Structures are given as C-alpha cells and as structure tokens.
Amino acid sequence: MKKLVWLFLILTVTLSFAAKDIIVVGTTDKIRTLDPANCYDYFSSNILQNVMVGLVDYEIGTSVLKPVLAERWEVDETGTVYTFYLRKDAKFEDGTPIDAHVFKYSFDRVMKLNGDPAFLLSDVVEKTEVVDDYTFRVTLKYPFSAFVSVLGYTVAYPVNPKVYPVDSFYEGIPSASGPYRVKEWIRDVRIVLEANPNYFGEKPKTKTIVINFYENASTLRLALETGEIDVAYRHLDPRDVIDLEGREDIVVYKGNSPQIRYLVINVTQPPFDNVKVRQALAYAVNRDVIVEDVFVGLAKPLYSMIPEGMWGHKDVFPKRELEKAKALLKEAGYDEKNPFVIDLWYTPSHYGTTEADVAQVLKESFEETGVIKVNLKYAEWSTYVEYFLNGTMGFFLLGWYPDYLDPDDYVWPFLSESGAKSLGSFYSNPEVENLMIEARKFTDLEKRTEIYYKVQEILARDVPYIPLWQGVATCAAKKQVKGILLEPTQIFRYYILYWED
C-alpha cells in the first residue's frame, strides 16, 4: 500500500512538472505553408517566426530592429549596396551552418520560384553575392530606405538547402534555425513545437508548445474554459472576449494593432473594371454597423489602407453617402429596373466566425441603395487563396498584418503591379508605382509622408480596395500563463510564454 502511495505521489509530481513544461494553445486559424518562399498569410508566417530567424528581428515588445543572423551591416554611398557580416555560430537543427552561401541560395530561390511574397525581394533586389563564407552582399535596383525592415519578414529567412529544393516549393516540416523546431505537424489538427537544441540564442521559456486547431470560436472558447488549452489566440468571438473578462481564472489581453480589414476589387473583371461602380461601392459601405454590432467596439472604422496611428496615414475614403452611390451607379448604367448584381466572397473560418456576419452586414448596406443586389459566396482558406490569385473572385474580403512596420508595407504590396497580383486586385498604375518608388528612395519622413498622401488620394479615386476597419489584437489565457505580449509587429512569440502558479 505504501508503495502505491509513493508511486501516486511520484506520478503526481511528474505530471505537475510536465504540465509546467508544456503550454497548449488553441486557434481557429490555419497553416497554409511553412516555406518562406511561398508563405504570405499571418498564421503560417507566425509559426516561422518562432522556428526560424533572419538577418534582423524586432526587439521584443517594440518596433525597433536589432541584428540577429547579421552581426552588423554597411550601406554604400549610393544606398543600393548592403553588405551583411554574419555571425558564425548559427546553424540549422541538423547542424548545417547558416553562412553567406545559404543566404544567396535562399534569396535567389525566393525570386526564382516567384511565390506569393517574392515581390518583396524581386521588385527591389538586383543581385546577391557571396563575398566570403560569412559576408553576404545584396545590390538593389534603387535606394530603398525600408529595405532592412523587409529583411525582418519571413520571405528573407534563410532556408536549409538540404531540405528546401531549389526548383520547387516545399510542403513539409521546416528545418529550424530559431528557438523552436517542429516536432509534429498534422495539418488542421495540431502542430507541436519543441526547443531547438541547436539554436544559438536564448532557450525558450517553455520546452514544448502544442497548438491545436479548432473549427470555430465557440469550440475554441469551450476548450479554454474546460482546460483543454491554456491559451486561446485567433479567433475568439468579440462577445466571448468581453464575457471572459469577467472570469477570475482567465486573463484577457487586448492591444492596439496595425492589422486592417478591407474589400478587394479585381479591377480587370467586369463589371468591376468600371471605376464608377467601384466608387459607388465605397460610398455605400457601412463601417459603423460592422464596428459596433459585429465587433462590439473591438475595432474602429478605417478610411485608408495605411492604418491610423502610423505616420503617413490620411483619411481619404468617403463616409457613407447612399445618394452619391446611387448617382454613380446611374452614371454606370444601373438603376432599380436594371440592378447591379454582384457576388461578394468571404472565407468562413480563417478570420473567425464573425466573417459571415461581416459579409451579411456588407450585403445589407450595399442593398440599401435599392440598386445593388448581392449574392454571398464563400470558400475555405486554401481554396479562397487560389481563387483570388487566379482571378476567379471579383469582390472579396481580405485582411492584412504587417510584414514590416513602415507605410510602404501598406501601399507597395497593394498598389505595385506585382503586389496587386498577389492580392487579387490586379491593379496597375504607372503613376502610383513611380510615386511609391520615389518615396522608397527618401529617408526624410516629411518627404515620404507627402508622397504617401498623394498615393492614398489616387487609391481613393481608383478604388482597387475599400478599407473597412482596423482591428484590436486579443488573446485569452489561464491566469498562470505569463509572457503574453501583443506586439505592434503582431509577432506572437511562443518562446517567451511560461507557466507560473
């Protein structure tokens, strides 16, 4: 009997220790790919930000860049040649050194494969060079003041040449260079991160992170309340967020965010190739109902693609004016007898269960004109991405989380010809492209701001996108989980989470 008691006590202590060594996270989001050359959605990128590292990263909790794989760098007098001096103790989880040859392989591979985020490099990078084993050089096509910021995003992360093929995308488990490595990945079920023993930096505060994927916000909340998970991150229903704030065993975190939501209009697809109907849609949209009814105040209306609070922002889109919308539709040949019939697409789970409500509010706000008739359509995320990349959808909801904290990241990916293709608007305007390149060349914020004002004014005139709202970052967790930071960069760092009784 005593042996059984001792065995029970030992087992209890062991399980208690193990529980503190593992934190379980729940999400309704999805992983699309873990190949930096083709990864351009939030959750996939965020996993890579915990298992890989780049030349630079942001200081935790700030928007200040710091060296990581680069110990230092130099920029020549033309502003186009960047020379990076690499640390010599970095390697992938299999022991492969991360040197200048690896960086050249990785950058060149991104540009060759031309995946979703490739334009972030290929639009500006002229060539890459190996100066020596630990000196890597990048020559740009023109000066770009925010180039180092771009290098903090996953598209610029080095990949292991032994794992990632040079001539095709890779769909398996990544070769880690960061705090964690992927121990297990069952798509749409769970992914397990464990401490990477070959990481050169500080070890994660928790050895193992398990991320479980849930169908919807209600099952995510239930998992948190029943103790199945310790952290609920993306996407609790806004009303659940407010409700959970009243519980003593759960802590709700909220933070300002540069995440934005918007409508994309494929400007090459009839009838959306008529600028008057795009302008009419911009006048008809009802942001206030979305913010107050769907998000119960956990968002704010947005009238430009550059988020409020970021330098360069200017409100350029109109407030709601139904009569103006009807007048523009009449000019385009539509009225009550000849209605403007359109499909509005959304994806039901990627952005949370509120998405269907948002789509319904938009439908109602457009149909209040008495001229627009809206058919709602939806597709799951992987299919949705294919549809907007190949031009199937003409009018659809999308969201944006920053690749790098600079106004350039809210105009170039949307309005450059290459970027617009990756987001499904297929917009092209040489005047805007030239203005954005001019802004990239300046380091003076006043000059850049003046140019971004012009760019946003043209955006509101041409309407390839309609900004809707700016979000609030939220997360809910058991009170024993510490280290949760909702950063301005939107990087959720699993490696700083820990359990404290």
pLDDT tens digits along 224-276: 999 999 999 999 999 999 999 989 999 999 999 999 999 999 999 999 999 99
Q: Is residue 484 part of a domain?
A: no
The CATH number linked to 128 is 3.90.76.10
Q: Is residue 493 part of a domain?
A: no
The proportion of the chain whose per-residue pLDDT surpasses 70, expressed as a percent, equals: 96
Which domain-ending residue is among 154, 178, 199?
Answer: 154
Cβ atoms 323, 474 nearer than 8 A: no
Count CB atoms within 10 A of the CB of residue 447: 13
Task: Please enumerate in sequence order all residues whose Cβ is within 8 A of that of 263, keeping only pairs 6 or more positions apart, or say none.
Answer: 281, 285, 362, 395, 396, 397, 398, 465, 466, 468
The CATH number linked to 321 is 3.10.105.10
pLDDT tens digits along 1-45: 444 444 443 343 334 444 479 999 999 999 999 999 999 999 999
What amino acid is encoded at 467 in this protein? Answer: P
Which domain-ending residue is among 108, 132, 154?
Answer: 154
Determine the pLDDT at residue 6: 42
Q: Identify which of 45, 32, 51 has the alpha carbon closest to the alpha carbon of residue 209.
A: 51
Statement to judge: residues 141 and 286 lie in one domain: no
pLDDT tens digits along 199-221: 999 999 999 999 999 999 999 99
Q: In this structure, what are the phi and psi dihedrals at residue 469, rounded to the nearest 5 degrees?
A: -155, 160
Say if residue 350 is preceded by a cis peptide, omega within 30 of 0. Answer: no
Cβ atoms 268, 259 nearer than 8 A: no
Query: C-alpha 500: how far from its chain's center?
Result: 30
Q: Is residue 44 part of a domain?
A: no
The pair of structure tokens assigned to 438 is: 């001019």
- The mean pLDDT value of the chain amounts to 95
Q: Is residue 26 part of a domain?
A: no
Q: Is residue 23 part of a domain?
A: no
Determine the pLDDT at residue 261: 98
Statement to judge: residues 399 and 271 lie in one domain: yes
pLDDT tens digits along 345-373: 999 988 988 999 999 999 999 999 999 99
Q: Is residue 227 part of a domain?
A: no
Domain housing 416: 256-470
- The alpha carbon torsion through 451, 453, 458, 459 (nearest 10 deg) reads 110
Which domain-ending residue is among 124, 154, 184?
Answer: 154
Statement to judge: residues 129 and 270 lie in one domain: no
Residues 74, 499: Cα–Cα separation, whole Å: 41
Q: Is residue 20 part of a domain?
A: no
Determine the pLDDT at residue 349: 86
pLDDT tens digits along 50-103: 999 999 999 999 999 999 999 999 999 999 999 999 999 999 999 999 999 999
Determine the pLDDT at residue 361: 98
pLDDT tens digits along 373-420: 999 999 999 999 999 999 999 999 999 999 999 999 999 999 999 999
Task: Please enumerate in sequence order all residues whose Cβ is within 8 A of that of 81, keeping only pairs 6 or more positions apart, or say none.
Answer: 75, 137, 138, 139, 140
Q: In this structure, what are the phi and psi dihedrals at residue 486, rounded to the nearest 5 degrees?
A: -100, 95
Statement to judge: residues 145 and 267 lie in one domain: no
Query: Could you give the number of structural domains in the chain?
Result: 2
Q: Is residue 59 part of a domain?
A: yes
Give the containing element (helix H, strand E) for 136: strand 135-140
